[in-house]
């Protein structure tokens, strides 16, 4: 099993749009084979900061996720909202930055 921690900062004033798009990608992603959990949290102190916390059965399941139409759409749409992001893949033996 691996974990993905993706920290995202969005443009001010884009919170509602970001959350609407995130709900869609989450709804599709949790149905994927190998997705054990996929959730989004928001910061209490930084209203434009969010963290996706994901658990995947394997790195291969995560790789397949990258090729799904709903993730491709998420990347296209979220480009209008996201200021920066940091993605870490946590393996039992290491942390991989994407």
User: Over its length of 98 residues, how does the chain's per-residue pLDDT go in tens digits?
Assistant: 999 999 999 999 999 999 999 999 999 999 999 999 999 999 999 999 999 999 999 999 999 999 999 999 999 999 999 999 999 999 988 888 87
Q: Which CATH class is domain 2-97?
A: alpha beta
Listed by start position, the domains of the chain span 2-97
Cβ neighbours of residue 29 under 8 Å, at least 6 residues apart? 35, 38, 54, 65, 68, 70, 71
Give CA separation, 42 vs 22, 55, 67, in Å: 12, 18, 26
Q: Are 25 and 77 in contact (CB under 8 A)?
A: no
């Amino acid at each position: 099993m691996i974990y993905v921690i993706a920290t995202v900062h969005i443009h001010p004033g884009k919170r509602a749009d970001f959350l609407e798009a995130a709900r869609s990608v989450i709804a599709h992603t949790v149905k994927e084979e190998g997705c054990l959990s996929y959730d989004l949290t928001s910061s209490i102190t930084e209203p434009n900061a969010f963290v996706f916390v994901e658990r995947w059965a394997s790195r291969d399941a995560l790789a397949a996720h990258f090729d799904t139409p709903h993730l491709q759409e998420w990347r296209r749409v979220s480009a209008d909202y996201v200021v920066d992001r940091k993605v870490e893949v946590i393996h039992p033996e290491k942390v991989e930055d994407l």
